[in-house]
A and B are shown apart, each in its own frame.
Chain A
Amino acid sequence: MTVSTSDVPHAPQKGRSLWDDARDRLFANRAAVASMIVLGVIALLSIIGPMLSPHPFDKVYRDYVKVPASLQAYPRPDQVQPAFEALAKRARLTIESYDRVGDSIVAEVSSRRAIDPRTTRYFDRSDLFKDAALTDMAEDQRAGRLRADINFVHFYFGTDANGRDMMTRTFIAGRVSLTIGLLATAVAISIGVLYGATSGYLGGRVDRLMMRVVDILYSLPFIFFVIMLVVFFGRNFVLMFIAVGAVEWLDMARIVRGQTLTIKRQEYVQAAEAMGVSDTGIVRRHIIPNTLGPVVVYMTLLVPKVILLESFLSFLGLGVQEPMTSWGVLISEGARNLQGSAWMLIFPSIFLTSTLFALNFIGDGLRDALDPKDR
């Protein structure tokens, strides 16, 4: 048995890279895995939720302003008759008899003048009724039977102060917030990594000068900077968040520089130098890939920071513009309407907070996974 196995030429055992180990450690971390699932669900809801939802995110339901979140359909049974009567009054119809048959209303109506068949539009335009029709008209056109179906709609998260569906808005806001978080982080990481690696690798006077610039930018009040960017780029949020990313790179540059200072003394970098690889080549092929561990960790912590920053800007009224929305906008609107319509704050807050929670746990998990001695 043992002899035969040694005879079989088997493939050389595959080595385990740092990344394989890190991945295994990350998947062994239950909090991190749960967070990744939560984040995945939220991202999925944000992407396909608005497409599946029956309400467009900017559709205004005038009859349903600030209705509470509910699993039951609107309109409520007790809302139907008063609404019908109010509409009949507007249409100058007198209701002779009112009868609810299943999900539709049948009413005998009369008027002092001839009833125009277009009167049904009053009912169709309302959010409560649809498919209104006049039948059995009298000879003189002054009386008839009006039949209208009740238009049932669901607002699982309630509606906002303009009567827009909060669920669709929360999902669409998730798209905006997550996009902003990822976009700004990508920009910040690219600038920070390149700057830090260059500064650390070149060293000496260049390094001192480049880090001095970082120090000065650090002392500039951050809010001032962001507000200036908003002023420059107007309300174009894509440009604005590229700009925010361009402000957030300072920490990244410091971290990467520190890493680079240790990496550049490693043998493989010296070997590359001895073989005549250019500075650009060394930074690109050897330095940057080896700094990626802390960068990945920092990235998961930067995304929530940027999302919070966006919500802060929205709170100040400098964020995305109506009818587009983001979690920050929804939350600041919700905070204003907290008394009386708490659902406007609760649902976006749950989404934002669980996203930030998940990203924090993923960040912690990644740090433990990539830097085992830190545990």
Chain B
Amino acid sequence: MTRYVLGRLLGAIPTIFLIVTISFFLIRIAPGGPFDLERPLEAKVMENLNKIYHLDEPLWQQYLLYLKSVAQLDFGPSFYFRDFTINELFAQSLPISIQLGLTALCLALVVGGTLGVVAALRQNQPTDYTVMAAATLGVTIPNFVVAPILTLVLGVWLGWLPVGGWNGGAFVNVILPVVTLALPQIAVVARLTRGSMIEALRSNHVRTARAYGLSTYMVVVVHALRGAILPVVSYLGPAAAALLTGSVVVETIFGIPGIGRYFVQGALNRDYTLVMGTVVVVACFVILFNLIVDLLYALLDPRVRYD
């Protein structure tokens, strides 16, 4: 088991290396530079800036320099947020995004899972149709529609919750962004759980458990759900990586200082180091969560072994 995990982590290094290489050259080919302002800077200032950030050296030398610093986990200074290094920016924003994402993920798993199981137990009954219609609605309404509506209703008209801001992660500030983040995930989880649960409830081991006279709770939660949760787990891997690295829309609408906005700001302002940093962070999360999914699979399904 440990060997398998170590092997996977080692195997991730070339992948990350390739990702760094691709994105480094991709953003460098893009026209424009980090210091191209509406009013051009003076030639001398520009020259000095380029010198400080090593932008005057040949591209391959910059690439080697960047690789060296990334290997030491130093993502360099930000070009756009002049007073910060990328590491400082991430140290501030990443915990916030992770906290939001993790809460939304748990909410999605609990609510979506429950709804899916309930729908599967009452297959082709009104409850089932209601849950599935709501789930389809949840998938199809974009979150930048959900967010303003929630803000307007709960924040402005009823005045129960603050409409935005982070406020050090106070509970009332977290509710709206978490719900907005979780709604589409709840919908998907409910659909997936319902589908696999219906299949699991018809399988032989569940029939045997019923024949033994086990309580409904034991049959459904312990025996059926364990197998039925597998597709959900494999869906949640990439979804978790996306949630934990922040959502541009939610962070913009609710004014949350998370990492999601840095994608857009970085790429649009040609903040090379910021873009590269976010790319690396996201890639690490994707790889990590794929590994976690595979390990969870082995835990849930005894037929899968990694020895």
Instruction: Point out residues on A near B: beta carbons under 8 Å.
Output: 215-216, 218-221, 223-224, 227-228, 231-232, 304, 308, 311-312, 315-316, 328, 331-332, 335-336, 338-339, 345, 349, 352-353, 356-357, 360-361
Contact = CB atoms under 8 A, between A and B. Distances in A.
A227 B32 CA distance: 14
Nearest to A217: B22
A224 B249 CA distance: 14
A interface, over-half SS: helix
Contacts of A312: 142, 144, 249
Nearest to A356: B140
B281 to A, nearest CB: 9
Contact of A220 (B19, B31, B141, B248): B19
Given A219-B15, A227-B268, A339 B152 contact: yes
Nearest to A215: B15
Given A227-B267, A332-B144, A338-B149, A219 B249 contact: no
B111 interface: no
Given A216-B15, A224-B278, 13 more contacts: A220-B279, A221-B245, A221-B283, A223-B264, A227-B267, A228-B27, A231-B31, A231-B32, A335-B145, A338-B152, A345-B148, A357-B140, A361-B136
Query: Among the interface residues B18, B137, B142, B147, which one has the most CB atoms of the partner chain A within 10 A?
Result: B142
12 contacts: A215-B15, A216-B18, A223-B264, A224-B267, A224-B282, A227-B264, A231-B30, A232-B31, A338-B152, A339-B152, A353-B137, A353-B140
Nearest to A339: B152
A311 B18 CA distance: 31
Query: Among the interface residues A215, A219, A353, A361, which one has the most CB atoms of the partner chain B within 10 A?
Result: A219
Contacts of A304: 140
Interface string B245-286: 100110000000000000110011000000100110011001
B263 A224 contact: yes
B214 interface: no
B145 A219 contact: no
A205 to B, nearest CB: 17
A220 B16 CA distance: 9
B287 interface: yes
Contacts of B23: 220, 224
B211 interface: no
Nearest to A314: B144
Query: Among the interface residues A215, A216, A356, which one has the most CB atoms of the partner chain B within 10 A?
Result: A216
B263 A223 contact: yes
A219 B249 CA distance: 21
A215 B8 CA distance: 14
Interface in B137-168: 137, 139-142, 144-145, 147-149, 152, 156
Contact of B144 (A315, A339, A360): A315
A73 B31 CA distance: 50
A349 B145 CA distance: 8
B26 interface: yes
Nearest to B149: A338
Given A216-B18, A231-B31, A335-B148, A353 B248 contact: no
B interface, over-half SS: helix
Nearest to A327: B142
A339 B153 CA distance: 10
A353 B141 contact: yes
Contact of A221 (B142, B145, B147, B278): B278
Contacts of A345: 145, 148-149
Interface of B: 15, 18-19, 22-23, 26-27, 29-32, 136-137, 139-142, 144-145, 147-149, 152, 156, 245, 248-249, 263-264, 267-268, 275, 278-279, 282-283, 286-287
Nearest to A358: B140
A110 B259 CA distance: 67
Nearest to A221: B282
B149 A227 contact: no
A311 B145 CA distance: 10
A331 B142 contact: yes
Nearest to A359: B140
A4 to B, nearest CB: 49
7 nearest interchain CB pairs? A356-B140, A335-B148, A221-B282, A227-B267, A219-B283, A219-B286, A231-B30
A62 B117 CA distance: 55
Given A220-B279, A232-B30, A312-B249, A331 B19 contact: no
A216 to B, nearest CB: 5
B24 to A, nearest CB: 12
A246 B23 CA distance: 17
A221 B20 CA distance: 11
A308 B268 contact: no
A322 B20 CA distance: 36
A298 B263 CA distance: 28
Contacts of A335: 144-145, 147-148
Nearest to B146: A335
Contacts of A218: 286
Contact of B249 (A216, A220, A315): A315
A231 B23 CA distance: 14
Contacts of A215: 15
B97 to A, nearest CB: 13
B170 to A, nearest CB: 24
A357 B136 contact: yes
A219 B27 contact: no
A335 B264 CA distance: 20
Nearest to A332: B144
Contacts of A360: 136, 139-140
Nearest to B151: A338
A215 B15 CA distance: 9
A238 B275 CA distance: 26
A221 B277 CA distance: 11
